[in-house]
Amino acid sequence: MIGLDTNVIVRFLVRDDPVQSRKAQKFIEGELTQDDPGFLSVLAMVETAWVLERGYRFDAGAVASAIERLLQTEVFLVEYEQEIFSAMIALREGRGSFADALIAECGKKAGCPATVTFDRKALRLSGFAPL
């Protein structure tokens, strides 16, 4: 197993740089397997969502679709896969940002009854409580 950095993930998804995108695609599609997968850390997933939104101006639906594509790629082992899936659904449904939804999901996984916040938008997500 080998970890993938955000820039490799983004090049695979966006394909905006001919040289780097081709290298990323060739590596992911040609060298990774289910027995020897690429590891996508929760941090790389959050950063990927942020880069797509801020750097590439993807709307929430496009970011959710990109995350879903990564989750469906069989040669990736995704850290906190179920929590990332739930956060992607919250993003797609317009209930909050991917990062906020993932924070709430990780809190739930850790056994927290709630995650306290000052963020009014985050309060729309299940798992948050006002402080």
The pTM is what? 0.91
Q: What is the pLDDT of residue 25?
A: 97
Reported as a single tens digit per residue, the pLDDT across 20-64 is 999 999 999 999 999 999 999 999 999 999 999 999 999 999 999
- Tokens found for residue 4: 């993938």
Rounded-to-integer distance, Cα 107 and Cα 116, Å? 10
Q: Which two tokens stand for residue 59?
A: 């709307």
Strand runs labelled E in the chain: 2-3, 38-40, 76-78, 115-117, 128-130
pLDDT, residue 30, reads 96
DSSP state of 122: G
- Determine the CATH number of domain 2-130: 3.40.50
Every domain of the chain and the residues it spans:
2-130
Q: pLDDT tens across 85-119, in order?
A: 999 999 999 998 999 999 999 999 999 999 999 99
